[in-house]
């Protein structure tokens, strides 16, 4: 559904490219997670994919049509919601969707039916006559997604759709996104790994403007299925002391260190487990937990884009 080949973009006055040789392939009726740390190039890529910005080089196709700043036809197949939804606050929810439907040239009956269906899908039917200015963050985001779907797009682009939401708002938005792939392809940019793990079929990881990988979520986690070691100390002081000792052993791959926990990805599980237990015993480190567990997507991500050796 979406293909792009060797996209490059360097902003004027910047010494390094924002994105460099980006190539992606997104299947139809899937939720595609575009994952990366802040400043990795996610928003620049989305702007080019949606025809809002010209690349310096490379090509984008949606539904086999070439995307450019000037291409009108292909943009009719695209829905887009930016990081901060822009909607008229004085309008009511249904009123906004009907207004957008009119802009798309839908007749009165069709836009009413589509608006009511989308409000139902978004869990906003009860708020159809509520003013936008009175909506919570999660409700506003779901209305923004509904607005982007009024034109019945083949592809919906979402840029950081849950980044500013509380846990309840995030859950409601993610539940809505999970429903959407039955109607269209969803390309979701985010830096929240648990969101990707929850709703996405495929993930691409971008770091410093370059694609680190693109892979099915399940196969990705299977490929990095080796057990990781989690050590939890009694307090942050003990964690710092243990980290300083572990850093002296260059063979240990420390994924992250936070909240009195240290996560290690061993190359040789049995050998490094004994080394770690020996260090804890010899230095009298006070711990509350030492366990082996399967890696999460977050652990895979940290392994691919950088570990915790320089922290603390």
Per-residue pLDDT of 287-300, as tens digits, reads: 988 988 776 676 67
Question: What are the backbone dihedrals phi and psi of residue 137, each rounded to the nearest 5 degrees, phi first?
Answer: -60, -45
Classify residue 194 as left (phi > 0), alpha (psi -120 to 50) or beta.
alpha
CATH classification of 224-305, choosing from 3.30.70.790, 3.40.50.150, 3.90.1150.10, 3.40.640.10?
A: 3.30.70.790
In the predicted model, is pLDDT for residue 24 greater than 90?
yes
Q: What pLDDT is stored for residue 185 in this prediction? A: 94
Mean pLDDT across 79-92 = 88
Evaluate if residue 126 carries a pLDDT over 90: yes
Q: Can you give the pTM of this predicted structure? A: 0.74
pLDDT tens digits, residue range 160-215? 888 778 888 888 889 899 888 888 999 999 878 788 888 899 989 898 899 988 88
Distance CA 147, CA 145 (A): 5
Judge whether 32 and 200 are in contact, CB under 8 Å.
yes
Domain spanning 2-221: CATH superfamily: P-loop containing nucleotide triphosphate hydrolases (3.40.50.300)
Per-residue pLDDT at 9 exceeds 80:
yes
pLDDT at position 312, please?
Answer: 31
290 φ/ψ sector (left φ>0, alpha ψ -120 to 50, else beta): beta
pLDDT for 299 equals: 65
Domain ranges of the chain: 2-221, 224-305
Distance between CA atoms of 265 and 253, rounded to whole angstroms? Answer: 5
Query: At 115, which helix (H) or strand (E)?
Result: helix 108-121
Q: How confident is the model at residue 226 (pLDDT cuts 50, 70, 90)?
A: low
Check residue 258 and give its pLDDT: 73
- Between 246 and 259, the more confident residue is 246
| Cβ count near 249 (within 10 Å) | 12
Mean pLDDT (whole number) for 212-222: 79
- Please tell me whether residue 6 adopts helix, strand or coil conformation: strand
Percent residues over pLDDT 70 in the chain: 92
Task: Judge if 2-221 and 224-305 fold alike in CATH terms.
Answer: no
| DSSP SS3 for 273 | helix
Return the SS3 of 20.
strand
Of the listed ranges 22-26, 66-70, 143-147, the least confidently predicted one is 66-70
């Amino acid at each position: 559904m979406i293909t792009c080949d060797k996209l490059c973009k360097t902003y004027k006055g910047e010494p390094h490219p924002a994105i460099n040789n980006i190539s992606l392939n997104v299947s139809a009726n899937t939720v595609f997670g575009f994952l990366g740390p802040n400043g990795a190039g996610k928003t620049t890529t989305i702007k080019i994919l949606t025809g809002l910005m010209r690349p310096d080089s490379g090509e984008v196709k949606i539904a086999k049509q070439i995307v450019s700043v000037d291409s009108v036809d292909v943009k009719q197949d695209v829905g887009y919601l930016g990081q901060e939804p822009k909607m008229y606050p004085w309008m009511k929810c249904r009123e906004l969707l009907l207004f957008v439907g009119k802009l798309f040239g839908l007749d009165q009956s069709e836009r009413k039916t589509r608006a009511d269906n989308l409000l139902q899908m978004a869990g906003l039917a009860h708020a159809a006559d509520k003013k936008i200015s009175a909506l919570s963050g999660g409700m506003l985001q779901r209305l923004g997604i509904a607005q982007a779907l009024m034109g019945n797009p083949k592809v919906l682009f979402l840029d950081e759709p849950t980044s500013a939401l509380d846990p309840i708002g995030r859950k409601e938005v993610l539940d809505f996104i999970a429903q959407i792939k039955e109607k269209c392809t969803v390309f979701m940019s985010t830096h929240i790994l648990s969101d990707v793990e929850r709703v996405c079929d495929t993930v691409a990881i971008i770091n410093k403007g370059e694609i680190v990988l693109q892979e099915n979520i399940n196969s990705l986690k299977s490929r990095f299925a080796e057990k990781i070691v989690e050590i939890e100390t009694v307090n942050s002081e003990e964690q710092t002391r243990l980290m300083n000792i572990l850093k002296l052993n260059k063979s240990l791959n420390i994924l992250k260190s936070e909240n009195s926990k240290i996560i290690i990805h061993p190359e040789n599980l049995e050998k490094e487990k004994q080394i770690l237990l020996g260090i804890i015993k010899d230095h009298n480190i006070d711990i509350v937990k030492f366990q082996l567990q399967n890696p999460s997507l977050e652990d895979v991500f940290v392994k691919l884009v950088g570990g915790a050796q320089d922290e603390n």
